[in-house]
Amino acid sequence: MNVLRNWLKPVIILSVAVGISGCEVQAEEYLVQDQDAYKEALDKAGPGDVIKLANGTWDDFEILFKGKGKKDNPITLTAETKGEVILTGQSNLRLAGEYLEVSGLVFKDGYTPTSEVISFRQNKNNLANNSRVTEIVIDNYNQPERYEVDFWVMMYGKHNRFDHNHLVGKRNKGVTMAVRLNTEESLENYHRIDHNYFGPRPILGSNGGETLRIGTSHHSRKNSFTTVENNYFDRCDGELEIISNKSGKNEFLNNTFYQSRGTLTMRHGNNNLVEGNVFLGNDADHTGGIRVINAGQTIRNNYMEGLKGTRFGGALVVMNGVPNGPINRYDPVINARIENNSIINSDNIQLGAGSDEERSGVPEDSTFESNLIYHDDGRDVFTIYDDMSGIDFKNNALVGEPSPELKTGFNVQEIKLERAENGLLYPNTNEDVGAARNLKVTTKDMTGVSWFPKAEPLIAFASGKTINIEPKEKALSEAIATAGAGDVIVLAPGNYVANKFLKLDKPLTFKGEGEVNLTFERTAMFEILAGGSLQLINVNISGDDSPDYAGNSVIRTSPYSMLPNYRLEIIDSNFRDIDTNHSFNIVTASKGTFADNILIKNSKFENVSGAIFKLDKESDDYGIYNAEYLTIEDSSFKNIGHALVDYYRGGRDESTFGPHFALTNSSVSNVGKDKRNKHKASIYLHGVQVTDMTGNTFEDSPAFLINHTVGEPKTRITNNKFEDVPSPQVFELNSILENTAIIADNQGLNP
Ligand code: CA
């Protein structure tokens, strides 16, 4: 072995002899220190050679890795030490050629200047084939603007492998990873996507939050032959498709979907196999399983537990299709094999879903056999929307209420379940139903890389230390400056005046001990910045010291687009005299900001000149909105000039589960009468998907205005008391059908 070290040049070459099929070839190892040295090394590199990027930070490095390796002797690009080469700024990676292998690099603290971070092509004419990307990390490498689209990984070409990678924190619009079939050179590609850790992807609040897509509707009747196996999808919550399959002959094998909202959707393409996958919902909202569309799909030996998804997002959904429809519509389900799946404590199996005048094609020539369906609470989990005589139901075991429409093929049994060593539940009898006992579950530690932590995505409120403060000047801003994420700032009794904006870039709790009064001298008290979240407990806030301007807010979000989602909780607190001038709001959201959760509990709001919640800044009708959940419990609202909430989600696409609105056990009195209240409503909900108002008292206020825009929104207004409030106005803006709101068992409403 000949080791050459030349410290004057940034390239260090290590030459080693390796044997290829009997003949000796000199393989070189290049350790490069800068971008020029990399280019120089690449020019020289041939089969078997290894280029190593030196440890450290590489800024603005657009790597083009182009060359021709040989089978079993690829050209390799890797890190001097895996995990210690960080690509930042505006860096990306393109591969082009044959038999290339890349490993060990980390992309973070930046974003791609193009639309892709890793691309298996240089350009349209130069693709990568027989190449592999392994042990790469992409961590929160997002465009600064939330709704600017990019993609983290795009596979082109044929016979490529993407494995043991770690992708976490995609927060801007655009699918995390896609396989493209856009040219002849990328069809029938036999790619393999395996052992990757698809880490948490937060709710996007718009279409374009899929984690993996294979194909597009345009090429959907072509075959891809892509295998997706042994991957771990951890809380991939971007939108309602976790995986969007849009091509034929793909295989989805032994993947784990851990508490991920959405489904593996077989949106387009025929003859796909979905086998041995494990879906664990943990009873979280909108966790789903598999949605079946098109011909020749096999759904076999999958395990679903604790999935709470409804409608198209259920545990198992078999759609109706459009007979002889155009390529972008749903094709009918023909010749589907749905066998030996376990569907346990999961709320919804939907058959013939989407049935309407256009989607009239029912499933044909299909079987539903040897499945185990079990629900603890004994409910009927089936919803049947159309004629299911095209499905042959055989030998299924059912523990729960049988569906009256499914007369044969289900044995109603008294099976007990026991948890096996692989973590899954199986019958304590020898029934040959449900998923196989030897199903090998892909666990988190089997995926991604060993040298990069699979960190928890959120820092919980009150998970840090306690900081005690007294009421003196700057006490609040000084406490914020020294606090760490998750800390609790405990306020001793007294009066606190904030003379600066209290800017939060970490989750913090402010907790009053005894009588704590807060006022503020700027146009807002709290401003939630990227990374910030706010919890208020037991404080009194008034507008007594606020400037005499229109449009103040107690709490507002950053005026700029914000990638991280925030949380806001207001508990046991009082807001009064927020009325220094007109249109003074409690919470104002800015465009491009998104709340995962806003919770109000046991709090009082009195004499407010503006709205309590302004969540209506995404007014472009792109299907974007400002908050996923707004939940109000046991609270009161009195003398509020504008609406209790202006909540807006425009557009007609059906890609999001939210927004959600819940108002329970609260009282609303004299809300919304100000002449500047734009919609003249006490509560304005436009495009909200799930609304639940129950156990409230409404008095002396204008009517609610509720616009249904897409899908089948669920609106329930029940068991409330109305006094001097007109009936809620509910409009179906895009449906000719009667509106679907349930308004029942209320007192004081004119029917
Ligand atoms: Ca979508």
| 145 CA distance to ligand 1 middle (Å) | 19
Separation of CA 492 and ligand 1 centre (Å): 49
Residue 244 CA to ligand 1 center (angstroms) comes to: 7
What are the distances in angstroms from CA 339 to CA 250, 274, 300, 659, 699?
18, 11, 5, 35, 55
Q: Which of 462, 520, 508 is nearest to 482 (CA)?
A: 508
Ligand 1 centroid from CA 173, angstroms: 11
Residue 46 has pLDDT above 50, yes or no: yes
Whether 149 contacts 173, CB under 8 Å: yes
| pLDDT category of residue 217 using cuts at 50, 70 and 90 | confident
Mean pLDDT of 611-634: 96
The pLDDT, as a whole number, for residue 551 is: 97
Residue 127 has pLDDT above 90, yes or no: yes
Residue 18 pLDDT? 47
- Whether the pLDDT of residue 261 is over 80: the answer is yes
Q: Please tell me the predicted confidence (pLDDT) of residue 427.
A: 94
CA–CA dist 509, 570 (Å, integer): 10
Where in 136-248 does DSSP place strands (E)?
Answer: 137-139, 151-155, 161-163, 166-168, 177-179, 192-194, 197-198, 212-214, 227-229, 232-234, 241-246
Give this prediction's pTM: 0.95
pLDDT in tens, 348-403: 999 999 999 899 999 999 999 999 999 999 899 999 999 999 999 999 999 988 88
> Worst-scoring range by mean pLDDT, 2-6, 118-122, 717-721?
2-6
Longest dimension (CA), the chain: 93
pLDDT in tens, 701-743: 999 999 999 877 999 999 999 999 999 999 999 877 778 899 9
What are the tokens at 484? 């760490």
What's the CA gap between 373 and 395, in Å, rounded?
A: 11
DSSP reduced 3-state for 213: strand
708 alpha carbon to ligand 1 midpoint, in Å? Answer: 20
The two structure tokens encoding residue 683: 């509560």
CB atoms within 10 A of CB 408: 8
Ligand 1 centroid vs 624 CA: distance in angstroms?
Answer: 13
- C-alpha 144/C-alpha 560 separation (Å) is 10
Q: Which amino acid is at 658?
A: G
In this model, does residue 245 exceed pLDDT 50?
A: yes
CA atoms of 713 and 730, how far apart (whole Å): 11
Residue 246 CA, ligand 1 centroid: distance in Å: 11
Give the distance (Å) from ligand 1 centre to CA of residue 389. Answer: 31
- What's the CA-to-centroid distance between 631 and ligand 1, angstroms? 26
Q: What is the mean pLDDT of residues 84-109?
A: 98
pLDDT of residue 12: 62
User: What's the whole-number mean pLDDT along residues 496-508?
Assistant: 97
Q: Measure 209 CA to ligand 1 centroid, in angstroms.
A: 7
In the chain, the N- to C-terminal Cα span, in Å, equals 91
- Are the C-beta atoms of residues 645 and 685 closer than 8 Å to each other? yes
C-alpha of residue 726 to centroid of ligand 1, in Å: 38
> What percent of the chain is predicted at pLDDT more than 70?
97
- pLDDT value at 99 more than 70: yes
pLDDT at 401: 84
Cα-to-centroid distance, 70 and ligand 1 (Å): 38
Q: Does residue 683 register a pLDDT over 90?
A: yes
Residue 22: pLDDT band by 50, 70, 90 thresholds? very low
pLDDT reported for residue 16: 53
Is pLDDT above 50 for 2? Answer: no
CA of 128 to the centre of ligand 1 (A): 27
Contact 220, 268 (CB under 8 A): yes
655 confidence band (pLDDT: 50, 70, 90): confident
Does 4 score more than 50 pLDDT? no
Whether residue 15 has pLDDT greater than 90: no
pLDDT at 606: 98
Q: How far is the CA of 582 from the centre of ligand 1 (A)?
A: 40
Q: How far is the CA of 416 from the centre of ligand 1 (A)?
A: 38
Residues 592, 560 contacting (CB under 8 angstroms): yes
Contacts of 552 (CB under 8 A, 6+ apart): 523, 524, 543, 546, 578, 580, 581, 584, 585, 610
Distance (angstroms) between ligand 1 centre and the Cα of 240 equals: 7
Task: In whole angstroms, give the CA distance from residue 530 to residue 525.
Answer: 17
Residue 715: count of CB within 10 angstroms of its CB: 22
Q: Are 209 and 201 in contact (CB under 8 A)?
A: yes
User: Quick check: 609 pLDDT over 80?
Assistant: yes
| Alpha-carbon gap, residue 4 to 433, rounded angstroms | 64
**CA 123 to centroid of ligand 1, rounded, Å:** 26
Query: For 330-344, what is the mean pLDDT?
Result: 97
Distances (CA, A) of 298 to 266, 294, 707: 11, 11, 40
**Per-position DSSP letters for 480-543, written without gaps between them:** HHHPPTT-EEEEPSEEEEE-S-EEESSEEEEEE-SSEEEEESSSEEEEE-TT-EEEEES-EEE-
Does residue 194 carry a pLDDT above 50? yes
295 in Cβ contact with 287 (< 8 Å): no
Cα separation of 579 and 639, whole Å? 10
- How far CA 703 is from CA of 321, 484, 584, 612, in Å, comes to 39, 44, 22, 16
Q: What is the CA radius of gyration of the chain?
A: 29
Show the tokens assigned to 127.
């693709």
pLDDT at residue 5 is higher than 50: no
Could you tell me the distance, in angstroms and rounded to a whole number, from the CA of residue 654 to the centre of ligand 1? Answer: 8
CA of 284 from ligand 1 middle (Å) equals 20
User: E strands along 336-483, which residues?
Assistant: 337-339, 342-344, 349-353, 366-369, 372-374, 382-384, 391-394, 396-399, 410-412, 417-419, 425-427, 466-469
Looking at residue 14, its pLDDT comes to: 58
Q: How far is the CA of 622 from the centre of ligand 1 (A)?
A: 13
Rounded distance, CA 64 to CA 93, Å?
Answer: 6
Distances (CA, A) of 255 to 193, 200, 208, 228, 316: 11, 15, 22, 8, 16
Distance CA(138)–CA(354), nearest Å, equals: 37
The token pair that represents 442 in the structure block:
């892909």
Question: How many alpha carbons fall within 13 Å on the CB side of residue 272?
Answer: 33
pLDDT at 1: 36
86-113: average pLDDT:
98
Task: Kindly give the distance from the C-alpha atom of residue 537 to the centroid of ligand 1, in angstroms, as a whole number.
Answer: 38
Mean pLDDT value across the chain = 95
116 Cα: distance to centroid of ligand 1 (angstroms): 18
Task: Kindly give the distance from the C-alpha atom of residue 176 to the centroid of ligand 1, in angstroms, as a whole number.
Answer: 12
Report the separation in Å between the CA atom of 322 and the middle of ligand 1, taken as the mean of its atom positions: 19
CA 34 to chain centre: 37
**Would you say residue 628 has pLDDT above 60?**
yes
Give the pLDDT band of residue 11 (cuts 50, 70, 90).
low
What's the chain's length in residues?
751
Measure 731 CA to ligand 1 centroid, in angstroms. 26
Given a cut of 50, whether residue 507 has pLDDT beyond it is yes
Query: Residues 304-310: what's their mean pLDDT?
Result: 97
Angle at CA of residue 279, ends 316 and 356, nearest 5°:
20
Spatial neighbors of 639 by CB under 8 A, at least 6 apart, are: 606, 607, 608, 669, 670, 671
Q: How close is the Cα of 655 to the center of ligand 1, in Å? A: 5
In the predicted structure, residue 690 carries a pLDDT above the cut 60: yes
Query: 524-563: per-residue pLDDT in tens?
Result: 999 999 999 999 999 999 999 999 999 999 999 999 999 9
Say whether pLDDT at 9 is over 80: no
166 near 197, Cβ under 8 Å? yes
Cβ atoms of 352 and 384 within 8 Å: the answer is yes
